[in-house]
């Protein structure tokens, strides 16, 4: 929150500090420009923090051997994966909610409406959940902390790069009666948050209904998070076979008890 306030003050000095504010239109233009600067910055921070927080949290559990203890409890796979994900994302979600009043203060300046702010935060939270799900799944899959963090960061950069390539290749092409570039933008969190800051963004026609691309991104991000977490829930005990360890320990204890009984006899 303090960083956002400092950025707002710096932006005021850079964009409007040397100019004379003659009317409310000049003030509204400053509010719109500031909103278009802060929204993508917040998105980038939320995505990388969510992914790295979840990946490092799971990796630390593996390093301390406490994940094996969790796997040997009566917790289900769903409880293990989703519970760890929610606990890791709690810090990022709290920071985003704390930043909401700062963004709402832009309404006093003008150039921004409530629907734009809520759209930006919806895209940011969906992106954070999707990135956190990816980081958690990779960390559950890989054994080494460095491997998990590196693969998570590279995967996010690759997803951004692929979306930008699709946007570039989709220029002047049409799919379903709409510009293919507009469809491709709905797959990119970066492009979606930029569209959310613009009140006059074009709509996608799906089934005869106009849908803003950032709303379609919310559906895509939710499906991606659901898919990634489903894979983690399905494979968590195969990647980390605590049941085999527990069964081996149980059979070892049984053999030890049998040997003790024979010795006593």
HEC states along 187-207? CCHHHHHHHHHCCCCCCEEEC
Q: In this prediction, what percent of the chain has a pLDDT beyond 70?
A: 69
What is the predicted pLDDT for the residue at 255? Answer: 43
What is the predicted pLDDT for the residue at 164? Answer: 80
State yes or no: pLDDT of 78 exceeds 90: yes
Please list, in sequence order, all residues whose beta carbon lies within 8 angstroms of the beta carbon of residue 6, skipping any fewer than 6 positions away. none
| pLDDT tens digits, one per residue of 135-151 | 999 999 988 889 999 99
What is the predicted pLDDT for the residue at 198? Answer: 79
State yes or no: pLDDT of 79 exceeds 90: yes
Calpha distance 144→36 (Å, rounded): 38
pLDDT band at 260 (very low <50, low <70, confident <90, very high): very low
Provide mean pLDDT across the span 87-99: 91
Q: What is the pTM of this model?
A: 0.81
State yes or no: pLDDT of 117 exceeds 70: yes
State yes or no: pLDDT of 265 exceeds 50: no
Going by C-alpha positions, the residue among 202, 21, 235, 37 that lies closest to residue 109 is: 21
State yes or no: pLDDT of 3 exceeds 90: no
Calpha distance 139→133 (Å, rounded): 10
What is the predicted pLDDT for the residue at 261? Answer: 45
Between the two ends of the chain, the Cα-to-Cα distance in Å is 73
pLDDT higher at 188 or 19: 188
User: What SS3 state is found at 56?
Assistant: helix
Calpha distance 140→167 (Å, rounded): 32
For residue 59, count other CB atoms closer than 10 A to its CB: 24
HEC states along 120-149? HHHHHHHHHHHHHHHHHHHHHHCCCHHHHH
| pLDDT tens digits, one per residue of 206-256 | 445 455 667 788 888 999 999 999 999 999 988 888 654 444 555 544 444
pLDDT band at 28 (very low <50, low <70, confident <90, very high): confident
């Amino acid at each position: 929150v303090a960083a956002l306030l400092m950025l707002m003050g710096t932006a005021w000095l850079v964009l409007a500090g040397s100019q004379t504010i003659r009317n409310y239109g000049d003030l509204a233009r400053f509010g719109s420009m500031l909103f278009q600067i802060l929204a993508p910055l917040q998105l980038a921070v939320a995505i990388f923090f969510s992914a790295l927080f979840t990946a490092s949290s799971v990796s630390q559990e593996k390093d301390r051997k406490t994940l094996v203890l969790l796997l040997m409890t009566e917790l289900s796979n769903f409880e293990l994966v989703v519970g760890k994900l929610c606990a890791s994302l709690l810090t990022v979600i709290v920071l985003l909610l704390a930043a909401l009043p700062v963004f709402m203060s832009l309404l006093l300046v003008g150039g921004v409406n409530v629907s734009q702010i809520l759209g930006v935060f919806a895209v940011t939270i969906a992106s954070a959940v999707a990135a956190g799900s990816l980081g958690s799944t990779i960390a559950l899959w890989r054994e080494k902390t460095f491997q998990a963090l590196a693969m998570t960061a590279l995967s996010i950069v690759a997803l951004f790069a692929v979306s930008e390539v699709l946007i570039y290749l989709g220029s002047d092409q049409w799919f379903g009666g709409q510009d293919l570039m507009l469809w491709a933008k709905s797959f990119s969190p970066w492009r979606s948050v930029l569209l959310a800051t613009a009140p006059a963004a074009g709509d996608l026609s799906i089934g005869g209904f106009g849908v803003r691309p950032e709303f379609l991104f919310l559906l895509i991000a939710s499906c991606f998070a659901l898919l990634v977490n489903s894979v983690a829930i399905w494979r968590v005990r195969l990647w980390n076979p605590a049941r085999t360890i527990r069964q081996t320990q149980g059979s070892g204890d049984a053999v030890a008890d049998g040997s003790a009984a024979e010795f006593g006899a």
